[in-house]
Chain A
Amino acid sequence: MAKYITECKLNFFQSRKAGKIAVVTMDNGQFPNIPNTWGVEALESLNKTLDIVEKDKDVKGWFLTGKPFIFNVGADIMSADPNAKREDALAIGATGHAAFKRIMNLPYPTLAAYNGASMGGGVEVGLYHKYRTISKSPGGCDHYALPECFLGLVPGWGGTQLVTKLCGPEIAIELVITNPLNMNRMINSKKALEMGLADRMFAPAEFVDESLALLEGIIAGEEKIERKAVDPKMSDELYNKTKAAIVGRVHGGALAPYRALDLIKGAGEWSLDEGFQKENEALADMITSDQFKCGLYSFDLTQRRAKKLPGRPPKEVKGNKINKIGVIGAGLMASQMALLFAQRYQCPVVMKDIKQEFVDKGLAYCKDQLAKTVQRGKLSAADAKWIGEDLISGSVTYEPFKDCDFVIEAVFEEMGIKQKVFGELETVCKPECMFLTNTSSLDIAEMGKFLKDPSRVVGFHFFNPIAMMPLVEIIKTDKTNDVVLATAFDIARKIRKTPVLVKNASGFLVNRVLTAMSDGIFRLLDEGADFLQTDKAVHEMGFPMSPFTLIALVGPAISLHVLETLNKAWPDRFPVNVGLKNMVAKGKKAILILGDKGVVVDPEILAGWPQGNKKFTDDEIRQRVLERIAVEVDTILKEGVVASPKDVDTGVIMGAGWPLFMGGITPFLDQKGISKKVTGDDFHPNGFLAIEK
């Protein structure tokens, strides 16, 4: 990708009332879809502009803004050198601090006008100005964030220090730690104004006019900016509370939020230069950390690579037009699908089940969900009525399916039933209608084998809850034709999901990796590992939930079913676990229960779980589980279930919520030396940050 350098373009404005004002525009000369960023050249450009402005004795004010829709989205992280030495990493922080501080030292009023998207170093440069304005959302500064912790970094150009001094530690924690860890939440201009990050908010239409007029007024002494005093000191209570919250989110896994918290606390005690020095050190530690490299990798995976739809047949293969959709089944999963399709496609969606009462229940579920959306103010009552009553309909016959463009089945996970459903559909549906299946474990080729045209069948595997989880596994059989496959990708995109192309192999991708992980854990337990210790040791690596919590969420019976399916395919690697089987037989829903003295293992489960007497350290537990995962990922790749380790990582990030700072899983396995030990080589022999051809 070509590199577009953001320049700091200087114009002098001779104001009638305020005199000469330096108007500086950050602009990379590209349309808004390529935003302004900070890089070495951009900082050089800023320094050159400052050289001119500092020398000019007539200048009475400094005004900084961006190009339309974009202020500056911060350091260009994709161009960061993943192999930076610590000295270089220290210099990155110091260079930014030094350049921005020159703005702070200008001896006259300075104003930053956050006209559009402002992130990271973009937010930070504004903080060195004496005054700040922000353009009203929507259409103005809709995205304002210090997202560094999300990527495994800390704000290193003054963010932790200046936000704390300007707005106090609570606001700094929210902006620097809480929001990034909350799925990288961004704030809009209204919120930024409330938080004290801007002094005035103006509508986008005349935002630059009014911001410049404000600066003129300040210089002329006509305008005064009042701010409420803040105490930058952080109480121990707030520190401990925040630390506990971080532990709750990322456990011991991610380093950055802890470092950020210490920097924010320090801001209440240190001088500015001391604080900047500490930021440089923290930033250098983070830039040279394994976690940041994983963060970069994940960012590229989810923000860039996934959007290119790897695995879709070439663009020339046009997907089918979708004007009507069928869903077989009206249970929870089916209803969720029907709702999602109706909302995104805004076309008729029909659900079929064997009994009218099931159908009615599904329809009621959809209406209920729509009503909740209306309550949240995200949908009008009229649209809810339209989607719920006019678009979504139910049936107990196949009659309404004859003009569907695709039908997705979500019936009971039993091959015979699914084959029967597809067979019946073939007699009513038009020939170009595609058959999708949401099966999580069955052989899709087998499912379509009695059809006259098995090329119309493709797997389309959602993750629960459908509305939340961004992943869809698209499963191609040997027969699936290219138009059907292309359409499946288009459907995923239309419903705003991330598709991963997977071969028709038992357990597909994500469930197979998760089950391998469970298998690793079960084997440890069988040998004698302590339940609570194992659960905690694995969780602490940074997974979004502990292994036992996951089993409780999925349901032990389903976990067992998936395990049995995989066992049929690969009995050696996936033995059916006796403990789990006993637990399901007893109708247990969760391994852990709340006892009098806190969380304990359900004694009945413990009793039914044959264990040896070997003991393990936490590290041994983690090592064993990671090795088991590595074996499976290696097998998956060797079998060609997915094309690249990047698909594995996209799958576990989007489908299982595995952390960005582990890069999903394969970069982490490479970094820990586990891939080499298990497979003889890294999953990314050229380094996982090497540019994909």
Chain B
Amino acid sequence: MDLRDAYFVDGVRTWFGRSKQDGHYWTTRADDLVNKVIKELIRRNPTVPWDEVDDNIWGATTQVGDQGTTMGRVTVLTSGLSEKVPGFSVDRMCAGGMTCQAIGASFIKTGCADIIIAGGVEHMAHHPMGAGADPNPRVVTEKMVDPKYFNMGVTAEKLHDWLPENGEQPVTKDEADEYAYHCVQKYFKALDEGYYNKHCVDMTVFTPSGWRVANFDEQPRRDTTLESIKNLRKFPFKAEGRVTPANASGLNDGACVSLLMSGKKCKELGIKPKMKFVGGAFIGVDPSIMGWGPVPCTEKVLRNFNMKFEDLDIIELNEAFAVQAVGFMKHFGMKTPVDPRLNPYGGAIAMGHPLASSGVRLSMQLAQDFELNPKAKYGLTTMCVGLGMGGSIIWENTAGKTL
């Protein structure tokens, strides 16, 4: 093992809230969610010399207000890290947190850093999607992107149409609904087994109805049935379409953080990292089918690192929409609606998708999946990104191994 490799040591997230007035975090600041997970990360890893963190890197899609002021730096001060720690903020929309991890791992691999905090946050109640956006009018006048595809749900509807037109297997509404149903089932089974308690932190929150404890994901409903999903005739993006709130991820608030470290530092501190950063890639696709991003992106990262899809034992894919997950599975010949290799403990359709935070959530789940499946060697975190992008990172299981 190369001492200059980058490793994932630990990850923590808040429970995800629903972005509404009676949700967990309506009156909690986004940067306070960040403070909470950093503080919890510090508590859980007492042997780490926290004064020596080389950078605190945070992704958020909307970087104003409580997600502004260069959050990566300001949260160094507000979370009790040493003032010596620098920080910055990153925006690649949904893949903001994932990009922070890629940047952090690159810093480590190039010898620029040994300890990196990389995370993502999105308070979609305080920062509704597209709020304050001012896209260049040329995008429209020169017909670069039909503005309707600035709406992610519309791209999901388009993906349903696009797949069969482009030589891919079609994904029907029923298939999307079945996928969503199984996702919620997997989530609750894992929740009851204590899977989520391992990386989620309880947080007291002040709400209009008094202080409460945010100690559960607010979005998933235990009473979800296949019928209830199929019978939901609510199509926010296209009349009589296929995408419904039940087969999409939702609007959520939450923060996820990860601790990345060089092999050298892990060895020095006697820390057993959970997985190794093998490599990552990002790619652009037609913005109108942004949900397709993970497919070409995963092919790109596999090609770059000389691997085959079959080498991947576990895949944590961000389910922005069920169509995009099922399309991915079909393209790579996985079994639908359930394949034990993909999102074995549930995904964003269940717990939600606070945009920039989700990439980091995928990594902490993959790390836990590796611990639960010692035989698994390689894993993938992958997600689609607005305006037509994909992001993929390959990780190697190092659970239980000493460097």
Contacts and interface: CB of A to CB of B under 8 A. Distances in A.
A9 B210 contact: yes
Given A205-B39, A205-B79, A67 B206 contact: yes
A203 B210 CA distance: 20
A209 B206 CA distance: 11
A25 B210 contact: yes
A67 B209 CA distance: 10
Interface string A14-35: 0000000001110101000000
A194 B215 CA distance: 34
Contacts of A11: 209-212
B206 A25 contact: yes
Contacts of A209: 36, 202-204
B36 A206 contact: yes
B80 interface: yes
B80 A208 contact: no
A68 interface: yes
Nearest to B32: A205
B36 A208 contact: no
Contacts of B35: 205
A656 B83 CA distance: 47
A455 interface: no
Nearest to B202: A209
A110 interface: no
B63 interface: no
A205 B80 contact: yes
A25 B78 CA distance: 25
Contacts of A68: 206
B174 to A, nearest CB: 37
Contacts of B78: 205
B112 interface: no
A554 B210 CA distance: 55
A68 B204 CA distance: 12
Interface in B27-45: 32, 35-36, 39
Nearest to B209: A9
Contact of A23 (B80, B208, B212): B212
Contact of A208 (B79, B208, B209, B211): B211
A212 interface: yes
Contacts of B36: 206, 209
Q: Which 6 A-B pairs have the closest CB atoms?
A: A9-B210, A25-B210, A208-B204, A25-B211, A13-B213, A209-B204
Chain B interface residue bracket vs A:
10 to 19
A27 B210 contact: yes
Interface string A521-565: 000000000000000000000000000000000000000000000
B80 to A, nearest CB: 7
Nearest to B206: A68
B210 A10 contact: yes
Contacts of A24: 210
Contacts of B212: 11, 13, 23
A415 B211 CA distance: 66
A234 to B, nearest CB: 38
A598 B204 CA distance: 64
A212 B205 CA distance: 12
A600 to B, nearest CB: 63
Given A25-B211, A27-B210, 11 more contacts: A9-B209, A11-B210, A13-B212, A13-B215, A68-B206, A205-B35, A205-B39, A206-B36, A206-B39, A209-B203, A212-B204
A29 B210 CA distance: 9
A27 B215 CA distance: 22
Interface in B176-228: 202-204, 206, 208-213, 215
A173 to B, nearest CB: 34
A65 interface: yes
Contacts of B32: 205
Contacts of B215: 13
B28 to A, nearest CB: 10
A78 to B, nearest CB: 25
B191 to A, nearest CB: 13
Interface of A: 9-11, 13, 23-25, 27, 29, 65, 67-68, 203, 205-206, 208-209, 212
Nearest to B27: A68
A168 B78 CA distance: 38
Given A205-B78, A205-B79, A205-B80, A23 B210 contact: yes
Nearest to A25: B210
Contacts of A9: 209-210
A212 B215 CA distance: 13
Nearest to A7: B210
Contacts of B80: 203, 205
23 contacts: A9-B209, A9-B210, A11-B209, A11-B210, A11-B211, A13-B215, A23-B210, A23-B211, A23-B213, A25-B206, A25-B210, A25-B211, A29-B208, A68-B206, A203-B80, A205-B32, A205-B35, A205-B39, A205-B78, A206-B39, A208-B206, A209-B202, A209-B204
B56 to A, nearest CB: 16
Contacts of B79: 205
A68 B211 CA distance: 10
B39 A65 contact: no
A44 B211 CA distance: 20
Contacts of A27: 210
A206 B202 CA distance: 11
Nearest to B197: A16
Contacts of A29: 208
Contacts of A25: 206, 210-211
A548 B12 CA distance: 71
Select the residue from B36, B80, B204 with max chain A CB neighbours within 10 A. B204
A65 B39 CA distance: 22
Contacts of B208: 29
B387 to A, nearest CB: 36
A556 to B, nearest CB: 58
Select the residue from B39, B79, B209, B211 with max chain A CB neighbours within 10 A. B211
A471 B80 CA distance: 42
A9 B206 CA distance: 11
Nearest to A64: B211
Nearest to B36: A206
B209 A212 contact: no
Contact of A65 (B202, B203, B209, B211): B211
B368 to A, nearest CB: 19
Interface string B9-41: 000000000000000000000001001100100
A35 to B, nearest CB: 15
B283 to A, nearest CB: 39
A65 B204 CA distance: 12
A212 B206 contact: no
B15 to A, nearest CB: 13
A598 to B, nearest CB: 60
Nearest to A21: B213
B35 to A, nearest CB: 6
Interface string B80-111: 10000000000000000000000000000000
B79 to A, nearest CB: 7
A621 B32 CA distance: 64
A205 B28 CA distance: 12
B24 to A, nearest CB: 12
Contacts of B209: 9, 11
Nearest to A113: B211
Interface in B100-146: none
A65 B206 CA distance: 10
Interface in B69-85: 78-80
B195 to A, nearest CB: 15
Contacts of A13: 212-213, 215
Interface string B224-246: 00000000000000000000000
B194 to A, nearest CB: 10
A13 B208 CA distance: 16
Nearest to B39: A206
A202 to B, nearest CB: 12
A367 to B, nearest CB: 32
